[in-house]
């Protein structure tokens, strides 16, 4: 069946025809039949260079042999036991060592779950109620963080979800990114803030980059008001390097949430923190958190294979950075847009200057983006179907792929 037919049927059976909102491309999304390396192959017979990479997890590209081998080996021994498995402490050891100051980790099944638990934990630890979040920051699809959220919520223009109680959201304070003074002023007036949650580099409307010393400043402000700092590194963890943004920028949060890359393409999430905070998590402490699929052996096997591979090939981070630099340096002209990149994260914003925050991101010319996106698809390149999502490269993208991307960029804008 063709994509158009599959979607027509799916629309009758599933809300919007999809399992997650960003995938609902108009007039219909393409359906994928298989993937390999940096390429997706659609049921309609197209071969596309993938710069979406499942929205972040696939830093090694599709069907990487090291991950495939790990999954196959685990399959032979079973894929769900409901008991601890030896690779849990092994993976915990690697992840905590990679994030200095994060002494303990709890594995969960998605990024959403990890931020939900981290927020509960912060409230349990501080005995305070409010949280501060960044406008345009996306931390998954649960109530506390579905206010002015990035990702699909911004794309579809529904940054505030129906069904979320005003009473709940009243405890979520929004502040603009890259503005430490607003944070300082808020905390000086509100002594009931348990935590600030932030994507250190805004990924779900970006990349929007932190200005010089911004992350250091919010660290010292939160510290001085006894507010826990949660770095949501679900995208940036192992994407910006081993240890993510916190190591890259040299800032130590109190709690960290991870997901995406650490599952190697299978569902996973994790939250990490200082030992004295993590000791409050059940069954060690009174903050409840649990999950049937938490620490499932298949996700752990894929994740540990990915992280080990990255440890053994640290130089790939420089190579990835070179690739996005090559794209930038070969843009024929900036037109009326701006190209932003950080490591293997990049995007062309239809806006004169790189946006500093959510407000500026929303000024982008989304109609021009739509036209550009379709032309790129016709040129054989799959970008995330939104002006607001980050584009990614993987280690599987070849020099030939990069050349094709550059040519397309120059003819499609």
Contacts with ligand PLP by CB under 6 A lie at: 110-112, 115, 138-140, 199, 203-204, 232, 234-235, 259, 269
Instruction: Tell me the closest approach of the beta carbon of residue 236 to ligand PLP, in angstroms.
Output: 8
Instruction: Tell me the closest approach of the beta carbon of residue 125 to ligand PLP, in angstroms.
Output: 20
Which residue of the chain is nearest ligand PLP when measured via CB? Answer: 111
Please identify, using beta-carbon distances, which residue of 389 and 401 lies nearer to ligand PLP: 389
Please identify, using beta-carbon distances, which residue of 138 and 309 lies nearer to ligand PLP: 138
Instruction: Tell me the closest approach of the beta carbon of residue 20 to ligand PLP, in angstroms.
Output: 8
Please identify, using beta-carbon distances, which residue of 42 and 109 lies nearer to ligand PLP: 109
Instruction: Tell me the closest approach of the beta carbon of residue 383 to ligand PLP, in angstroms.
Output: 17
Give the helix ranges, DSSP H, for 78-206: 87-98, 111-126, 152-155, 166-169, 180-189
Instruction: Tell me the closest approach of the beta carbon of residue 140 to ligand PLP, in angstroms.
Output: 4
Would you state the torsion angle of the CA atoms of residues 245, 250, 254, 257, taken in this order, to the nearest 10 degrees?
10
- Beta bridge partner(s), residue 202: 208
- DSSP string computed for 3-41: HHHHHHHHHHHSGGGSSSGGG--SS-PPPEEEEEBTEEE
The β-bridge relationship of strands 172-175 and 228-232 is unpaired
Answer for the pair 217, 181: CB distance below 8 angstroms, yes or no: no
Report the phi/psi class of residue 61: left, alpha or beta, with left for phi > 0 and alpha for psi in -120 to 50: left
Instruction: Tell me the closest approach of the beta carbon of residue 8 to ligand PLP, in angstroms.
Output: 27
Please identify, using beta-carbon distances, which residue of 48 and 205 lies nearer to ligand PLP: 205
* Residue 24: CB atoms within 10 Å: 21
Q: Which own/partner pairs from 14-21 qualify as long-range (CB within 8 Å, at least 24 positions apart)?
A: 20/152, 21/152, 21/153, 21/155, 21/156
The β-bridge relationship of strands 172-175 and 130-134 is parallel
Please identify, using beta-carbon distances, which residue of 304 and 402 lies nearer to ligand PLP: 304
- Element spanning 327, H or E: helix 316-329
Please identify, using beta-carbon distances, which residue of 198 and 402 lies nearer to ligand PLP: 198
């Amino acid at each position: 069946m063709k994509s158009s037919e599959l979607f027509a049927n799916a629309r009758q059976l599933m809300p919007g025809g999809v399992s997650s909102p960003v995938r609902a491309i108009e007039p219909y999304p393409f359906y994928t039949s298989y993937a390999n390396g940096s390429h997706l192959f659609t049921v309609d017979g197209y071969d596309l260079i993938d710069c979406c990479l499942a929205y972040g997890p696939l830093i090694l590209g599709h069907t990487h042999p090291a991950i495939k081998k790990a999954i196959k080996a685990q399959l032979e021994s079973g894929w769900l036991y409901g008991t601890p498995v030896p690779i849990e402490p092994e993976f915990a050891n690697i992840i905590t060592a990679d994030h200095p100051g994060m002494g303990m980790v709890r594995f969960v099944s998605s990024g959403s779950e990890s931020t939900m638990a981290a927020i509960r934990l912060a409230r349990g630890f501080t005995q305070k109620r409010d949280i501060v979040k960044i406008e345009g920051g996306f931390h998954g699809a649960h109530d506390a963080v579905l206010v002015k959220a990035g990702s699909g919520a911004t794309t579809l223009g529904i940054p505030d979800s129906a069904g979320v109680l005003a009473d709940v959201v009243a405890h979520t304070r929004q502040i603009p990114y890259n503005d430490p003074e607003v944070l300082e002023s808020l905390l000086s007036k509100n002594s009931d803030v348990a935590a600030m949650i932030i994507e250190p580099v805004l990924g779900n409307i970006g990349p929007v980059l932190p200005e010089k010393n911004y992350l250091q400043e919010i660290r010292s402000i939160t510290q001085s008001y006894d507010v826990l700092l949660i770095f949501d590194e679900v995208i940036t963890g192992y994407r910006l390097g081993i240890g993510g943004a916190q190591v890259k920028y040299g800032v130590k949060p109190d709690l960290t949430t991870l997901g995406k890359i650490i599952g190697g393409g299978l569902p996973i999430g994790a939250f990490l923190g200082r030992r004295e905070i993590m000791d409050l998590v059940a069954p060690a402490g009174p903050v409840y958190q649990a999950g049937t699929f938490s620490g499932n052996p298949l996700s752990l096997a894929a994740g540990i294979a990915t992280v080990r591979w990255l440890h053994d090939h640290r130089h790939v981070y420089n190579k990835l950075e070179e690739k996005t630099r090559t794209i930038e340096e070969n843009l024929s002209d900036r037109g009326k847009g701006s190209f932003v990149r950080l490591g293997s994260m990049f995007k062309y914003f239809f806006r004169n200057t790189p946006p500093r925050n959510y407000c500026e991101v929303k000024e982008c010319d989304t109609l021009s983006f739509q036209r550009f996106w379709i032309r790129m698809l016709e040129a054989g390149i799959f970008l995330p179907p939104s002006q607001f999502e980050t584009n990614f490269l993987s280690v599987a993208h070849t020099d030939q792929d990069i050349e094709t991307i550059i040519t397309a960029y120059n003819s499609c804008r």
